[in-house]
Amino acid sequence: MMYQPPFTLNGSILSLVTEIAQSVGRLSAQPEHANALRLRRINRIRTVQGSLAIEGNTLSEEQITAILDGKRIIAPPKDVQEARNALAVYEQLEAWQPASEQHLLDAHALLMKGLIDDAGHYRQGGVGVMKGDQVVHMAPPANRVSKLMRDLLHWLEITDQPPLIASCVFHYEFEFIHPFADGNGRMGRLWQTLILSRWQPLFAHVPVESLVHAHQAEYYAAINDSTQQADSAPFIVFMLSMLRDAILSVIPQVTPQVAPQVAALLKHVVGEVSREKLQAALGLADRKSFRERYLRPALDAGLIAMTRPDKPNSRLQCYYLTELGKQASCVSAVTA
């Protein structure tokens, strides 16, 4: 029987997927700017610094920039080696295939070069995840790791789940298995970036890691909640929210231009609101006119999103402001 990771798709997950897809569309539509390469370099440095900081590395973005430029810095040798390895790994991101076990092992060998003896090999002993003096997760026995990883990689190769969801599921399952003696957190986050970059190349330059670092306690709490529930949904929700916010952080900050009808609609979208309530609040009797002149333009512009995107015609359907919608709503309020 084919391995199937346990996860449940809920309304929060589907709404976040819709928001991210809309934001990716807007970002992909942006023209290439003259400073695009510089911004990618900055985001890559932020990514490396964030991922290493989660694991206790003390280097700043300025120090990692200096290492990237070939300069010498005064810092613990281990921290410098970790940074050099991580920069080298992300440089090779385009060469690897997400479902390849050999590529996974090669990436780990490069990431942990000079840091552990068995870099590029699965662990040979038991390992637990500690929180202070307490063991919060005991990983599967070492003799099961190879099969578990092959099953997970095979699932990744054949799943019909969209990459946004599949990458989160893989990330959680990878951390649960904890296949290596060290470097599991860095590898899990790296491989999620790789999976997403095969879907949309822009994800190779979105600094998700720095946001995860800023919400490190929530990151570990989401992993723990998923383990306790035997369902990776809590972790999926957390990572999707990080992805959404990371994408929004790199979208050029341009004030959304909205039609008067859409601006009027946004004023009444407080929390989750049904179509009927919005139409009544605007004093509109014609449902078709409301949908064509108010609702649809707001949805197409990514200013509002559905609570049930998988069932657009559901009688329980409601709408809420996206991050872009909140921005547009604030601008409209100021200029009104």
Q: Each residue of 157-207: pLDDT tens digit?
A: 999 999 999 999 999 999 999 999 999 989 999 999 999 999 988 888 888
Say whether 154 is catalytic.
no
Please tell me whether 188 is known to bind a ligand. Answer: yes
Is 170 part of any domain?
Answer: yes
Is 32 part of any domain?
Answer: yes
Percent of the chain with pLDDT over 90: 50
Is 150 part of any domain?
Answer: yes
Mean of pLDDT values over 261-268:
90
Is 204 part of any domain?
Answer: yes
Average pLDDT, the chain: 86
Same domain, 224 and 275: no
Which residue range is the domain that position 234 belongs to?
17-250
Q: How many domains does the chain have?
A: 2
Please tell me whether 294 is known to bind a ligand. Answer: no
Please tell me whether 38 is known to bind a ligand. Answer: no
Percent of the chain with pLDDT over 70: 88
CATH code of the domain containing 302: 1.10.10.10
Please tell me whether 106 is known to bind a ligand. Answer: no
Q: How many CB atoms lie within 10 A of CB 91?
A: 12
Q: Each residue of 12-35: pLDDT tens digit?
A: 999 999 989 888 877 766 555 444
Q: Is the pLDDT of residue 103 over 70?
A: yes
Active-site residue, selected from the candidate residues 108, 178, 205, 213: 178
Asked if 32 contacts 257 with a C-beta cutoff of 8 angstroms, the reply is no
Mean of pLDDT values over 63-86:
91
Same domain, 71 and 115: yes
pTM here is: 0.73
Same domain, 238 and 142: yes
Mean of pLDDT values over 97-116:
96
CATH code of the domain containing 75: 1.10.3290.10
Same domain, 272 and 241: no
Distance (Å, whole) CA 254 – CA 252: 6
Is 9 part of any domain?
Answer: no
Mean of pLDDT values over 98-111:
96
Measured between its terminal Cα atoms, the distance across the chain in Å is 61
Is 237 part of any domain?
Answer: yes
Distance (Å, whole) CA 117 – CA 183: 12
Same domain, 108 and 149: yes
**Which residue from 240, 241, 202 is spatially nearest to 93, judged by alpha carbons?**
202
Q: Print the SS3 string covering 216-276.
A: HHHHHHHHHHHHHHCCCHHHHHHHHHHHHHHHHHHCCCCCCCCCHHHHHHHCCCCCCEEHH
Is 3 part of any domain?
Answer: no
| Two structure tokens written together for 164 | 């946004």
Q: Each residue of 115-130: pLDDT tens digit?
A: 999 999 999 988 776 6
